[in-house]
Amino acid sequence: MKKSSNEILSIFYRYLLLIALPLGGLWLFYFVFTPLTVYPVYFLFNYFFGATLDKTTVYVGLVPIELIKACIAGSAYYLLLIFNLSTPNIKINQRLKMLFFAFLIFLVVNILRIFVLGILYMAGSPLFDIIHRLSWYAGSVALIVAIWFYQVKAYKLKEIPAYSDLKFLYRNSLLTKRK
């Protein structure tokens, strides 16, 4: 019964955190990842083309490249967090390490995506719109799924996000203890 109580508490705390974090509009993700995205993008443009920065807009010459919330992709970080916290039986140190590396991989790829799209935009490429839309709608989802599958393999995870918790709760509920 002790193990069952600990698991139920674990489920409660993990899902409480998942519910509490987005209540303010994912502000924490944007607070953390906006500067972590904007400054490297600015440094890349400045290094290769000479650029200036005004808040979240990078100017390359007279061409503005504005990094709005959608560019920062706070909801993508939240989805990675959902996968992580809705998966049971991960020790806290491993969970934190997984989150750090998932966020880092997504951050680096997102910075490179913005940089490449910025180059296409500055060049007036007709490919900009289609690549921008594809990389946002399909590319970000594919990247998040790829990062998660990589973590499942790398960390040898056996549990399924949310489903394993629901299965555990059902097995330990009154519905199955009527004998």
Tens digits of pLDDT across the chain (179 residues): 567 778 889 999 999 999 998 887 899 999 999 999 999 999 999 999 999 999 999 999 999 999 999 999 999 999 999 999 999 999 999 999 999 999 999 999 999 999 999 999 999 999 999 999 998 888 889 999 999 999 999 999 999 998 998 898 888 887 776 55
In contact, 85 and 17? CB cutoff 8 Å? yes
Total length of the chain? 179
Tell me what pLDDT residue 5 has. 79
Looking at residue 6, what is its pLDDT? Answer: 86
Give the per-residue pLDDT at 24.
77
What domain range is 166 assigned to?
Answer: 2-176
Q: How far apart are CA 83 and CA 18, in angstroms?
A: 10
pLDDT of residue 136: 83
Q: What is the spatial distance between Cα 85 and Cα 102, in angstroms, rounded to a whole number?
A: 13
* 37-64 b/e (C-beta count within 10 Å ≥ 16 → b): bbebbbebbeeeeebebeebebbbeeee
pLDDT of residue 40: 98
**C-alpha distances in Å from residue 120, one per residue of 24, 59, 98, 123, 128:** 34, 14, 33, 5, 6
> What pLDDT score does 2 carry?
65
Number of compact structural domains in the chain: 1
Q: What span, in angstroms and rounded, lies between the C-alpha atoms of 104 and 112?
A: 12
